[in-house]
Structure 1
Amino acid sequence: MLGLPYADLRYPNPLNIDPIAFHLGPIAVHWYALSYLVAFALYLALAFVRAGKPGYALSRSQAIEALIEGELGAYLGGRIGYILFYNLPLYLAHPLQIFAVWEGGMSFHGGLIGAVLMLAYTARREGLTLFAITDFVAPLIPLGLAAGRFGNFINGNLFGRVCTADFSWCAYFPYGGDVLRYPSQLFEGAGEGLLLFAILWGFSRKPRRAGAVSALFLVGYGLIRFTLEFIRQPDPQLGFVAFGWMTMGQLLSIPMVVAGGVLFYWIYRIAPREQLATS
């Protein structure tokens, strides 16, 4: 499942990063696992910058609770989403594989659904609206996604399609055959991570109507993911799922964009003007 990019990136200098960062006795600690810790640390650092300040709905303790509970929902939803969207026949035939989480298998879109459901519970318990939490949390997510994509790159999984002859930044991946492929994980990290973070962080610095930041996250992530899927290798067990060119990642991103667009329309065209709120 996991592998190492063969470090034949033609630009910049070749990389050769061992997927195992270090050992704690007999336990091998992988860079991919550390990327999750980096994601948590980035979330907390960014949350502490804003939490408790005027114009932001969550206190620091509420931000931590949202992280823990949202991450739990994301993990459960991500696993269930992968089973349902990406490999249901395998898990129906081998149900015990559902619990083999060390073998990988997570869906961002499933994780998003799980996180929203869990955050809805958090909001109700804390006496907040759902948008009060999701508008606060949304700008904090992309840098964690960037860390995860870099972990994918080090592991050599979720690699890109075969490079075109005129593209100068490609890599060999051990499970991608003896051909140069797009390092799509790095492009996704830059797009879903750095670019989306800059957009959301800047947008959320000023007071916005309740739900506007969440809507922008849905539209922004959906469009970026849909676009970058054109250079990402489709999942081998699925291939293209529609029209001979659409991947499952693209198919699942369309409802995100539609939902975000509908939410924007409702916020700015239908909802009362007094619903101006901040994240």
Structure 2
Amino acid sequence: MTYLHQIDPVALSLGPLKLHWYGLMYLLGFVAAWWLGRQRVRAGRLPGVDANAFSDLLFYGMLGVVLGGRIGYVLFYGFSGFLENPLSIFKVWEGGMSFHGGLLGVMLAAWWWTRRQRLHYFDTMDFVAPLVPLGLGFGRLGNFIGAELWGKYTQAGWGVIFPTDPALSALSAVELKAQHAAGMLDQFARHPSQLYQAALEGLVMFAVLWTFSRRPRPRYAVSGMFALLYGAFRFAVEFVRVPDEGRYVAWDWLTKGQILSVPLILLGLYLLWLSHRAPTLQPASPAGAKSA
């Protein structure tokens, strides 16, 4: 049975102030990263770093996600809209965040923090990688609630009918309910690609990376696994997702998201190859962690 999407993207309204679910999902992602990161710090998974230093890393990472994600979206997918309204770059609560831009932002933030801490860059990235997937999953749930980035039409019984579909723009909320109840909208059911990504990029990646990183691994290995998994999952889901900007890059199937994912797959394979010759960072006793 198809599902008619009727979720209000606004979670809470206080006069002119509106709290969108999309922004709330980002907050949940940061809280999850903080909680998981504190556990890894207590376990000594980044020797020489205490809770205060990790708080600095998380703060820089949050800036990297928001600024990098938004700037990346503007550069990769919404440059024409930015030219029409430059202030739109600040409207993060309306959606429009690029994972690849956010990843570059986090990598830059981690590089800055790592230099100050005098650590090896990929020791930091290996520490951070397992903290990210739950945030990705929450972000995709935000996409679903906001009825954006949906998939292609499907005849599968779990298809979702999104009122934001241009083909349904002439119907009121009442008409949508009535026609859906009568089975007249089944042809407009789409793959809930946001939920596919939430499951793969969020739950599956978290389970794999958290389990994989519980034991000491050679430098580069955890980062490599992260890049490989995300690139492969994103490349696969793009086959059932409406291409960004509504058009394919080539061959009536290749999307911009897939093009941006290929370097991640290659990077992941390269990092995993490097890890075979790299040293393994051993956990330090929490009592031995120095103050930042």
| TM-score bin, normalised by smaller chain | 0.7 to 0.9
Summarize deviations over 1:40-68 as a string: whole Å, max 9, x none.
11111111222132344342222221111
SS in structure 2 at match of 1:209: coil
Counterparts of 1:1-279 in structure 2, within 5 Å, are 9-10=2-3, 16-57=6-47, 58-92=49-83, 94-163=85-154, 165=155, 167-176=156-165, 177-178=167-168, 179-235=188-244, 237-268=245-276, 271-272=277-278, 275-277=279-281
Identity %: 44
Q: CA deviation at 1:38?
A: 0.8
Change (3 A) 1:20 1:114: same
Relative contact order (C-alpha < 8 Å, sep 6+): which is higher? 2
Task: Count residues with an aligned counterpart.
Answer: 262
Matched residues in 2 for 1:77 and 1:54: separation? 29
Summarize deviations over 1:8-42 as a string: whole Å, max 9, x none.
844xxx76432222222331212111111111111
Q: CA deviation at 1:130?
A: 1.2
TM-score relative to the length of structure 1: 0.87
Task: Using the TM superposition, name which of 148-157 and 191-200 deviates more.
Answer: 148-157
Instruction: Answer yes or no: is the 8 Å Cα contact 1:39–1:147 preserved in 2.
Output: yes
Q: Which runs of 5+ in 2 are unaligned?
A: 169-187, 284-292
Q: CA deviation at 1:101?
A: 4.3
Matched residues in 2 for 1:119 and 1:241: separation? 32
Q: CA deviation at 1:242?
A: 2.4
SS in structure 1 at match of 2:42: coil
* Structure number with larger C-alpha Rg: 2
Task: Using the TM superposition, name which of 60-69 and 95-104 deviates more.
Answer: 95-104
Q: Which amino acid aligns with 1:19?
A: P
Task: Using the TM superposition, name which of 207-216 and 23-32 deviates more.
Answer: 23-32
Q: Which runs of 5+ in 1 are unaligned?
A: 1-7
Matched residues in 2 for 1:250 and 1:277: separation? 33
TM-score relative to the length of structure 2: 0.83
Root-mean-square deviation (CA, aligned residues, Å) is 2.0
